[in-house]
Structure 1
C-alpha cells in the first residue's frame, strides 16, 4: 500500500491470468514443491499443468531443496508381510499421515538412505538397489557391482550411502564401501575400498585409494551434507568422520565440541546423533550418558567451529504433559529428526516416545502429537526424512 491506497486486482484480470497456461505455469514454477502438491486438486487445469512432463522437467532445473514434509517410519511387526511397510508421518497439518506406504516398484523394498528427495532402496529377494522418488513414483535400478579378485563378496563390511544436492548438480552419486582383500588375506579387515555410481555416467567407478577399516563402521548411518558424508565411528569417539566425494574421496575428522558441563572422561558425548537441516550440520548429544539435558550444536559450511544452537531439558520439556512420561533411559537415538525453520519459533525436533511420534518446538516449548504408531520404531536406521522433489531417479 502506497499513500494509503489499497491496490486490488479486478476479478476479470485474475481470471485472465489464471486461464493463461503460460502465465499460470510461470507462477506455479516459483512455488515450493509442497505447495504444488497441495494445489493439484484445485482443478483439472492445475493438475494437468503440475503433472505435465514439461513442467516437471522445468521445475527440476530450478536448484532448490524444500524442507522435509514428514518422515517415513518402518512399522514394527512380527508379520513378514508387514515387515517392509512404512508409515508416513506428516509435519504439515494440511497433509494427512498415512499407514502402510508401499513403493510402486516393489512392495518388499527397504529404505537404506534418504537424501534431498531421493530414496536409496534395497530389495532382499532380488538383491537389487534402486533409486526412488516417492513424490512422482519414479525409480531406477542400479547396475550390479562387478567385483575383482581382491574384493571379497562374503566377508567384511559392505555399506551403501547416497550423495545428492540439487542446488549443486542434478546428478546423484551412490557410494559403496567394502572390505578390500581376499578370503586368504590376513589383513582383510584392515582396508576399505570405495566405489561410486554416478547418475551422470550410469556406471560404477573404482577408486585406487585404500582407507582404514576402523573408520567406516558407522558409514551406513551417515548424513550427506555440504559435499561430504558424515558419520560416527566407534573407534573415533571424539570425532565426526567426514568423507568428501565431490571430486576425489578424502577422509578427514571433525573434533567434537567441548562438553558444556565439567564432565570429563572417555564417555563424554557417548550418546549422540547427527542431523542436517538447511545449511547446517547438527550434532545432538548429552555431556554424559545419564544426563537429562540435550545439547544441539550447529556447524556451518565453513567447518570452523561448533556453536550451541539449542539446549533442551528433558524433564522440563515434558512437565506440562504428565500423560507423556519421559523414561529415565531416554536416548538421543529416540530423536527422529531436527528441523530448522526460517524463524527460530518454527524450529523443532521430532521424538519417539512409547510408539507416539511427538513434535517439540524449541522456542515455544510446546509438545504436540504427530502420529501414534502403536509400537516403537524398530531402530534408529528405520526412520527417513521425506522431502518433496521432482528430481529424476
Structure 2
C-alpha cells in the first residue's frame, strides 16, 4: 500500500469536532501541527465554541509570587512541583507590581495600583489588553470587580472608591454610576470582588457610618449595573470579614481570635447562612484566611496572610501547606481561574503567545 493510499484525510468539520473535545493544554501544542490548525485553534470562533462545548475545562489556582506568575493544580499534592506551571507576563512589568483582582472566563484582571496600570490577560493563550485607568488618577480604590455581561458579550471592570464606576471593554470607556458611593473596606489595600449568579460581591461597610455594626455584603448586578445589599449572618460579630465564592456559594470568613466560616447554601436567602465552625489560627498557621475552592476530594483550599496555600479537611485540620513568599505579602495574590482559549471581543490588537512556545 502506498503512502498516499494509507493516509486518511478527514473533513474540516470532523477535525474541528474532534479538537473541540480536547483540553486546552493539548490544543496549545496542536497549534504547531500545521498553519491551518494554528489558524483554527487561535480563532475567536473556535475559542468560544470550545468554551461552550463538551470539553471539560481545567480549573487551577493562579498565584503571583517570587517575581513570577504560577498556576497550581489544587487537586495535586502541594509538594508536587510538576503540578505547577510558570508564566511570563507579556508586558513590560513584573509580577511584583501586579495584584490579581479578578478572574472570569479564563481572563485575569491585573492591577498595578501604584502605577494605575490595568490589564486583562488570558494566561492560556497569551491574549492581553491594557485597560485605561479611571480619569481621576488621585482616587483610592477600595474594591475592584471583574465580570462578563452575557446579554451584551462585554467584559466589565467595576471600581468602588468615592465613586461607583464601571469600564466597558466594548465601549473602551468608563462610566460613573454614583459620584458619592457610601461603601468602603476595612483594610488599607484594595480588595477583589467574587462572581456568582451574574453579580460581583464584596464585604464592605458604610463609609459614612464607620461603626462595627454597619458592615454588609454588597452585590453589583452586572446586567442592570445596580448595587444592592445582602445581610450578613446573625452571629457575625466583629466586622473583619473576607468574602469569596466557592463551589457556587458565597463563603464568609470572620477573622478574630479564631477563624469563623459561613456558607450561604441558598443564594440570597439570609436564613440559609450555615456556620461551618471555627478554626484556630495556630492550627493552620494563619492570621487571616481566604477560601479559594474545593478539591475533587472535598478538601478546602485557601490562601493566608503570609502568601501560602493551605489544604484543609472538613474538620478544619491542616492537610498540606505551601508557602510562596519568604516574607508576608498579601492574601489577595491568588485566584481560581479556568483554562480557556477565549479572545476579547472587538479587539484586533491582542498580544498572542507564539505557538512555538508550546511545541
Judge same fold: TM > 0.5, yes or no. yes
Counterpart in the other structure of 1:295: 261
Distance 1:140 1:303, change over 3 A: farther
Larger Rg: 1
Q: Which of the pair has the greater relative contact order for Cα pairs under 8 Å at 6+ separation? A: 2
Q: 2:298 aligns with which of 346, 365, 376?
A: 346
Q: 2:141 aligns with which of 150, 155, 158?
A: 158
Distance 1:389 1:40, change over 3 A: closer
Is 1:103–2:89 an aligned residue pair? Answer: yes
Query: In structure 2, what is the Cα distance between the partners aligned to 1:204 and 1:285?
Result: 34
Query: In structure 2, what is the Cα distance between the partners aligned to 1:52 and 1:70?
Result: 24
Gaps of 5+ in 1: 1-14, 76-81, 148-152, 180-192, 260-266, 319-324
Query: In structure 2, what is the Cα distance between the partners aligned to 1:161 and 1:136?
Result: 24
Counterpart in the other structure of 1:229: 200
> 1:132-171 alignment to 2 at 5 Å?
132-147=121-136, 153-154=137-138, 157-159=140-142, 161-165=144-148, 170-171=153-154
Distance 1:124 1:273, change over 3 A: closer
SS at 1:56's partner residue?
helix
Distance 1:110 1:125, change over 3 A: same
Query: In structure 2, what is the Cα distance between the partners aligned to 1:128 and 1:232?
Result: 24
Deviations 1:20-50 (A, max 9, x none): 653343244245xxx3315655795599467
Counterpart in the other structure of 2:168: 198
Deviations 1:257-299 (A, max 9, x none): 133xxxxxxx82544321113432111236xx223x6433224
Q: Count how many residue pairs are aligned between Structure 1 and Structure 2.
A: 321
Contact kept in structure 1, 2:65 and 2:324, CA below 8 Å: no
Query: In structure 2, what is the Cα distance between the partners aligned to 1:62 and 1:310?
Result: 35
Is 1:36–2:36 an aligned residue pair? Answer: no
Counterpart in the other structure of 1:334: 289
Counterpart in the other structure of 1:3: none
Q: 1:392 aligns with which of 334, 340, 343?
A: 343
Query: In structure 2, what is the Cα distance between the partners aligned to 1:138 and 1:200?
Result: 16
Distance 1:43 1:362, change over 3 A: farther
Query: In structure 1, what is the Cα distance between the partners aligned to 2:10 and 2:328?
Result: 47
Query: In structure 2, what is the Cα distance between the partners aligned to 1:19 and 1:347?
Result: 44
Gaps of 5+ in 2: 1-6, 345-359
SS at 1:134's partner residue?
coil
Q: Which moved more, 1:244-253 or 1:131-140?
A: 244-253
Question: What TM-score does the superposition give when structure 1 sets the normalisation length?
Answer: 0.65
Q: Which moved more, 1:113-122 or 1:221-230?
A: 221-230
How far does residue 228 in structure 1 lie from its aligned partner after superposition?
2.8
How far does residue 246 in structure 1 lie from its aligned partner after superposition?
2.9
Q: 1:176 aligns with which of 159, 171, 195?
A: 159
Counterpart in the other structure of 1:253: 229
Contact kept in structure 2, 1:352 and 1:376, CA below 8 Å: no
Counterpart in the other structure of 1:11: none
Contact kept in structure 2, 1:356 and 1:373, CA below 8 Å: yes
SS at 1:201's partner residue?
coil
Q: What is the Cα-based RMSD across aligned positions, in Å? A: 4.1
How far does residue 250 in structure 1 lie from its aligned partner after superposition?
3.1
Query: In structure 2, what is the Cα distance between the partners aligned to 1:247 and 1:167?
Result: 8
